[in-house]
Structure 1
Amino acid sequence: MSLNFFDKLSQDLIELLNDGDDYNVIIEVENKEKSFTAHSNVLKFRSSYFRRELENIQPNENNIKIIIKSSISAQIFNVILQYIYGGIIDLKNCETRFIYDLMLAADEFELEELTNKLETLLIETKGSWLRTHFSFIYHSIFNRHDDFKKLKNFCNDIVVKYPNLIFDSDDFTSLKESALIKRNDLQIKEVEIWDYIIKWGIAQTSTLPTNLDDWTKENFLTLKTTLQQCLPHIRYFHLSNIEVVDKIEPCRKILDKQLWKDINQHLLIPDRPVKSIILPPRTILDRELPPRIEEPRKSLSDIISEEHAAEISTWIDRRETAYTLTNIPYEFELILRGTRDGFAPQTFWDICHGHACTVVLVKVKGTDEIIGGYNPLAWDNSNIDDEWMETKDSFIFSLKDGNIQNSILSRVKKPDSAIGNRSKSHQKEGGPYFGDFWMYSEKSDFTLDNGCYCRSDSCYYEKTIRSLSGWFSIINYEVFKIFRKTI
Structure 2
Amino acid sequence: METKFLSERVKNLENLLESKENYDMIIYSGEESNNQEMRVHSIILYCHSNYFRNAFLNNSMKKEDGKYFLRIPNVTLQNINKIIRFLYCGQIDLTTENGPNIKKLLLSVNELEMHSLSDHIQEYLINNHKEFVQNNLIELFELSINNESFKILQKSCLKIICKNPNLLFEKDFFLSLSSQILMNIFNQKDILLDEIEIWNNLIKWTYAQNPNINSDRSKWTQEDINMMKNTMHDLVPLIRFQDITSDDFYDKVFPYENILPDDYKDNIMQYYLVSKINSSIINDNHFATFSNWIEKKIDSCYTARNNPYDFKSIYRANRDGNSPAVFHKICDNKRNLIVVAKLVDSDEIVGGYNPLYWDKSDTFKQTKDSFIFSFTNKNDIQSGKVGYTKVKNHSIYCDQNYGPAFGGGCDLICLNDGKWMSLPFSYPDINIPRNFSVEDYEVFHVIVKG
TM-score, normalization by structure 1: 0.49
1:394-409 mapped onto 2 (5 Å cutoff): none
1:26 aligned counterpart, secondary structure: strand
Q: 2:121 aligns with which of 112, 118, 121?
A: 118
Amino acid at match of 1:288: D
Q: Which structure's CA Rg is the greater one?
A: 2
CA distance in 2, matches of 1:68, 1:91: 25
Residue number in structure 2 paired with 1:73: 76
> Against the structure 1 CA distance between its residues 57 and 166, is the aligned structure 2 distance closer, same or farther, given a 3 Å change threshold?
farther
> Against the structure 1 CA distance between its residues 235 and 133, is the aligned structure 2 distance closer, same or farther, given a 3 Å change threshold?
same
User: Per-residue CA shift, 1:296-353, capped at 9, x if unaligned?
Assistant: xxxxxxxxxxxxxxxxxxxxxxxxxxxxxxxxxxxxxxxxxxxxxxxxxxxxxxxxxx
1:251 to partner: Cα distance: 4.0
> Against the structure 1 CA distance between its residues 253 and 29, is the aligned structure 2 distance closer, same or farther, given a 3 Å change threshold?
farther
Amino acid at match of 2:50: S
Residue number in structure 2 paired with 1:141: 144
> Against the structure 1 CA distance between its residues 30 and 230, is the aligned structure 2 distance closer, same or farther, given a 3 Å change threshold?
farther
| Paired residues of 1:26 and 1:66 also in contact (CA < 8 A) | yes
Q: 2:92 aligns with which of 89, 92, 116?
A: 89
> Against the structure 1 CA distance between its residues 60 and 154, is the aligned structure 2 distance closer, same or farther, given a 3 Å change threshold?
closer
Residue number in structure 2 paired with 1:360: none
Aligned residue pairs: how many? 282
> Against the structure 1 CA distance between its residues 175 and 65, is the aligned structure 2 distance closer, same or farther, given a 3 Å change threshold?
farther
1:114 to partner: Cα distance: 2.1
Residue number in structure 2 paired with 1:7: 7
1:204 to partner: Cα distance: 4.4
1:56-455 mapped onto 2 (5 Å cutoff): 56-60=58-62, 62=64, 67-145=70-148, 147-149=150-152, 151-176=153-178, 177-178=181-182, 179-204=184-209, 212=217, 215-270=220-275, 283-284=288-289, 286=297, 288=299
Amino acid at match of 1:86: C
1:182 to partner: Cα distance: 1.0
1:148 aligned counterpart, secondary structure: helix
> Against the structure 1 CA distance between its residues 218 and 17, is the aligned structure 2 distance closer, same or farther, given a 3 Å change threshold?
farther
CA distance in 2, matches of 1:79, 1:122: 16
User: Per-residue CA shift, 1:207-238, capped at 9, x if unaligned?
Assistant: 65665555554555455555455332111233
2:62 aligned counterpart, secondary structure: coil
1:60 to partner: Cα distance: 3.2
| Paired residues of 1:143 and 1:175 also in contact (CA < 8 A) | no
Greater RCO structure (CA 8 Å; 6+ sep):
1
1:82 to partner: Cα distance: 1.2
1:257 to partner: Cα distance: 0.7
User: Per-residue CA shift, 1:84-112, capped at 9, x if unaligned?
Assistant: 12212233432233233323432443323
> Against the structure 1 CA distance between its residues 72 and 215, is the aligned structure 2 distance closer, same or farther, given a 3 Å change threshold?
farther
Residue number in structure 1 paired with 2:27: 26
TM-score, normalization by structure 2: 0.52
1:168 to partner: Cα distance: 0.8
| Paired residues of 1:184 and 1:283 also in contact (CA < 8 A) | no
CA distance in 1, matches of 2:210, 2:28: 38
1:83 to partner: Cα distance: 0.7
> Against the structure 1 CA distance between its residues 119 and 181, is the aligned structure 2 distance closer, same or farther, given a 3 Å change threshold?
same
> Against the structure 1 CA distance between its residues 36 and 196, is the aligned structure 2 distance closer, same or farther, given a 3 Å change threshold?
farther
| Paired residues of 2:62 and 2:70 also in contact (CA < 8 A) | no
| Paired residues of 1:26 and 1:37 also in contact (CA < 8 A) | yes
RMSD of the TM alignment (CA)?
A: 3.7
User: Per-residue CA shift, 1:37-77, capped at 9, x if unaligned?
Assistant: 44444334322334345444534363766655433222222
| Paired residues of 1:28 and 1:66 also in contact (CA < 8 A) | no
CA distance in 2, matches of 1:173, 1:187: 19
> Against the structure 1 CA distance between its residues 8 and 219, is the aligned structure 2 distance closer, same or farther, given a 3 Å change threshold?
farther
| Paired residues of 1:57 and 1:65 also in contact (CA < 8 A) | no
Aligned-pair identity (%)? 25
User: Per-residue CA shift, 1:6-36, capped at 9, x if unaligned?
Assistant: 2333233334444175434635325762444
1:141 aligned counterpart, secondary structure: helix
| Paired residues of 2:199 and 2:239 also in contact (CA < 8 A) | yes
The structure that is helix-richer by fraction is 2
1:263 to partner: Cα distance: 1.7
User: Per-residue CA shift, 1:365-410, capped at 9, x if unaligned?
Assistant: xxxxxxxxxxxxxxxxxxxxxxxxxxxxxxxxxxxxxxxxxxxxxx
CA distance in 2, matches of 1:15, 1:98: 26
User: Per-residue CA shift, 1:398-454, capped at 9, x if unaligned?
Assistant: xxxxxxxxxxxxxxxxxxxxxxxxxxxxxxxxxxxxxxxxxxxxxxxxxxxxxxxxx
> Against the structure 1 CA distance between its residues 4 and 126, is the aligned structure 2 distance closer, same or farther, given a 3 Å change threshold?
same
Amino acid at match of 2:299: E
Structure 1 unaligned blocks of 5 or more? 273-279, 291-487
CA distance in 2, matches of 1:224, 1:51: 49
| Paired residues of 1:47 and 1:111 also in contact (CA < 8 A) | yes
Amino acid at match of 1:8: E
Do residues 49 (structure 1) and 60 (structure 2) align?
no
2:29 aligned counterpart, secondary structure: strand
2:24 aligned counterpart, secondary structure: coil
